[in-house]
Structure 1
């Protein structure tokens, strides 16, 4: 006789935990061995009950589910972590997978889908909700090309990032303040931004600072 898959529920909302218990209770292939409302409780529960699969919410009050996932996978290599969350964003999916999660399911999943997800990850496979699969298939947004800058523009940009005024930059570079203002306008135009804060942010993204 096949033993049921032992499941730990980790979510800080009691109503969600109660709902999950009610959904999984009629399924003979699954057994909820414990629940936890915080990361600390999750660590204790895993150590005490040694579940096969952890249904893990990402948003916990004391620690991110991302960090919880990484720690549990590191300490219990055979443990399967299945993210169960409302966070339908590609960055969360990729970060959870990087931490060793076996799957990612949204909380609007049906009982049948949830049971299938648990069975799949327990069998050593990956599982993603259909909406999550669509997210993962979306192409990454194209990164804007770095605008070509002259040596002087790079120098001026560096001083702008330090918060120096046009007059201060002019004094440092032995230029007129009018010339520095021209370089400022050219930098704003090349980066297609309207203010200094946006200019600095984009320059930092392009690793020019």
Structure 2
């Protein structure tokens, strides 16, 4: 029986090497490649044709969510397993909508990661215990949805995709100062004091 071909995608070299060491003793798993960026991941997937991709969400050039969507679109049979520190319902939901087969936190035990790989390869879904609990939580009481301008909606979407203020300013052809003003206005309108809470609140309201 051929081993499960695995591609590792993470922007930290220590994580990539650590995962290789972790998976090496598993006779039914073969690491066929590793990538540090979204672009490298897409190229490596085309070259090595992995069965399972261990994919971090936070990548330097593009969101892991977008990478997942492209991988699944290019190769429908591929199984993407999110491996991340982001324990937020919004990220889980967006990864699954992008076509991921599972979601595992980086604090998972080696046995759990091995089980996740084998299960998604077999066509099943897999979630870390913490993620399952997160998904089972009752939705919070709905808050009033703030009224956003067209530009604020564009900035909010870009923030949710992990882009920096400078990147957003360049993409929208407006000044960095204007972007920072929009960021402050968004925080005020949503009644939060940091970007993580802004994204969570906007996600719960279905705005991103």
Same fold, judged at TM 0.5 (above): yes
2:142 maps to 143
Q: Of residues 186, 189, 204 in structure 2, which corresponds to 1:201?
A: 189
Q: Does 2:82 match 1:98?
A: no
2:54 maps to 55
**Displacement of 1:143:** 1.1
Provide the C-alpha distance between the structure 2 equivalents of 1:98 and 1:145, rounded to a whole number of angstroms: 25
Provide the C-alpha distance between the structure 2 equivalents of 1:85 and 1:100, rounded to a whole number of angstroms: 16
Provide the C-alpha distance between the structure 2 equivalents of 1:19 and 1:42, rounded to a whole number of angstroms: 18
Provide the C-alpha distance between the structure 2 equivalents of 1:137 and 1:74, rounded to a whole number of angstroms: 29
2:118 maps to 119
Provide the C-alpha distance between the structure 1 equivalents of 2:106 and 2:189, rounded to a whole number of angstroms: 35
Provide the C-alpha distance between the structure 1 equivalents of 2:101 and 2:94, rounded to a whole number of angstroms: 12
**Runs of 4 or more off by more than 4 Å in structure 1?**
none
Q: What secondary structure, in the 3-state scheme, does the structure 2 residue paired with 1:87 have?
A: coil
Structure index of larger Rg: 1
What number of residue pairs does the alignment pair up? Answer: 154
Q: Does 2:17 match 1:18?
A: yes
**Displacement of 1:142:** 1.4
Structure 2 gaps, min length 5: 150-184, 191-201
Provide the C-alpha distance between the structure 1 equivalents of 2:35 and 2:143, rounded to a whole number of angstroms: 44
Structure 1 gaps, min length 5: 147-157, 162-196
**Displacement of 1:201:** 3.3
Q: Does 2:128 match 1:129?
A: yes
Q: Deviations over 1:19-53 (max 9, x none)?
A: 00000000001000000000110011000000000
Provide the C-alpha distance between the structure 2 equivalents of 1:75 and 1:28, rounded to a whole number of angstroms: 28
Q: What secondary structure, in the 3-state scheme, does the structure 2 residue paired with 1:82 have?
A: strand
Q: What secondary structure, in the 3-state scheme, does the structure 1 residue paired with 2:134 have?
A: helix
Provide the C-alpha distance between the structure 2 equivalents of 1:144 and 1:38, rounded to a whole number of angstroms: 37
2:171 maps to none
Taking structure 1 as the reference length, the TM-score comes to 0.70
Provide the C-alpha distance between the structure 2 equivalents of 1:18 and 1:140, rounded to a whole number of angstroms: 38
Query: What aligned pairs does 1:30-109 form with structure 2 within 5 A after superposition?
Result: 30-109=29-108
Q: What secondary structure, in the 3-state scheme, does the structure 2 residue paired with 1:108 have?
A: coil
1:4 maps to 3
Provide the C-alpha distance between the structure 2 equivalents of 1:31 and 1:142, rounded to a whole number of angstroms: 46
Give the superposed CA RMSD. 2.2
